[in-house]
Amino acid sequence: MLPKNRFFITSYGGLYISDVQKEDALSTYRCITKHKYSGETRQSNGARLSVSDPAESIPTMLDSFQSREVKAGRLVELPCIASGYPNPAVRWIKDGRPLPADSRWTKRITGLTISDLRVEDSGTYICEVTNTFGSAEVTGTLTVIDPLRVTLTPKKLKTGIGSTVILSCALSGSPEYIIRWYRNTDLVVVDDYISIRGISNETLLITAAQKSHSGAYQCFATRKSQTAQDFSIITLEDGTPRIVSSFSEKVVNPGEQFSLMCAAKGAPPPTVTWALDDEPIPRDSGHRTNQYTMSDGTTVSHMNVTSPQIKDGGVYRCTARNSVGSAEYQARINVRGPPSIRAMKNITAVAGRDTFINCRVIGYPYYSIKWYKDSLLLPDNHRQVVFENGTLKLMDVQKGMDEGEYLCSVLIQPQLSISQSVHVTVKAQGMASPAFLTLYKIPFYTGAWIEARDE
Task: Report the candidate in 215, 218, 217, 265 with the shortest Cα–Cα distance to residue 235.
Answer: 215
Does residue 59 carry a pLDDT above 70? yes
Mean pLDDT calculated for residue range 179-203: 94
Does residue 46 carry a pLDDT above 70? yes
Q: Is the peptide bond before 154 cis (omega within 30 degrees of 0)?
A: yes
Mean pLDDT calculated for residue range 365-379: 95
Residue 89 — pLDDT band, cuts 50, 70, 90?
very high
pLDDT in tens, 355-365: 999 999 999 99
pLDDT in tens, 212-226: 999 999 999 998 778
Could you give the dihedral angle defined by the CA atoms of residues 240, 245, 249 and 255, in that order, rounded to the nearest 10 degrees?
-110
pLDDT at 24: 85
Residue 264 host element (H or E): strand 258-265
pLDDT at 11: 67
Does residue 233 carry a pLDDT above 90? yes
Does residue 325 carry a pLDDT above 50? yes
Task: For residues 17 and 5, give the distance between their C-alpha atoms in angstroms, rounded to a whole number.
Answer: 9
Does residue 432 carry a pLDDT above 50? no
Task: Write down the mean pLDDT value for the chain.
Answer: 88
pLDDT at 70: 86
Among 247-256, 302-311, 381-390, 428-437, the minimum mean pLDDT is found in 428-437
Mean pLDDT calculated for residue range 74-101: 90
Neighbouring-strand partners of residue 186: 183
Question: DSSP secondary structure string, 34-93?
Answer: EETTT--EEEPPPEE--------EEEEEEE--SEEEEETTS-EEEE-EEEEESPPEEEEE
pLDDT in tens, 23-41: 888 889 999 988 887 888 9
CB pairs under 8 A, 24+ apart, for 89-92? 89/129, 89/130, 89/131, 90/127, 90/128, 90/129, 91/127, 91/128, 91/129, 91/130, 92/125, 92/126, 92/127, 92/128
Which comes out higher in pLDDT, residue 162 or 406?
406
Mean pLDDT calculated for residue range 6-22: 79
Name, in order, each residue with C-beta under 8 angstroms of 280's C-beta and a sequence gap of 6 or more.
273, 274
The sign of the dihedral angle between the CA atoms of 209, 322, 245, 384 is negative
Mean pLDDT calculated for residue range 80-94: 90
Question: DSSP secondary structure string, 306-333?
Answer: SS--GGG-EEEEEEEE-SS-EEEEEEEE
Domains, the chain, in order of start with CATH, read 7-145 (2.60.40.10), 149-237 (2.60.40.10), 243-335 (2.60.40.10)
The angle subtended at Cα 289 by Cα 288 and Cα 290, nearest 5°, is 130
pLDDT at 4: 60
pLDDT at 1: 54
Task: For residues 45 and 299, give the distance between their C-alpha atoms in angstroms, rounded to a whole number.
Answer: 74
Which comes out higher in pLDDT, residue 238 or 455?
238
CB contact at 8 A, 12 and 65: no
Task: Report the candidate in 50, 23, 30, 11 with the shortest Cα–Cα distance to residue 450.
Answer: 30
Does residue 434 carry a pLDDT above 70? no
Among 129-138, 197-206, 422-431, the minimum mean pLDDT is found in 422-431
Task: Report the candidate in 30, 27, 33, 24 with the shortest Cα–Cα distance to residue 46.
Answer: 30
Which comes out higher in pLDDT, residue 412 or 64?
412
pLDDT at 160: 82
CB contact at 8 A, 387 and 371: no
Task: For residues 243 and 245, give the distance between their C-alpha atoms in angstroms, rounded to a whole number.
Answer: 6
Q: Which residues of 113-129 are buried (b: 16+ CB within 10 A; e: fewer)?
A: bbeebeeebbeebebbb
- DSSP code at position 444: -
β 347-350/105-108 pair status:
unpaired
pLDDT at 445: 39
Determine what percent of the chain is predicted with pLDDT higher than 90.
59
Does residue 340 carry a pLDDT above 70? yes
Residue 159 — pLDDT band, cuts 50, 70, 90?
confident
β 67-71/134-145 pair status:
parallel
Task: For residues 188 and 263, give the distance between their C-alpha atoms in angstroms, rounded to a whole number.
Answer: 38
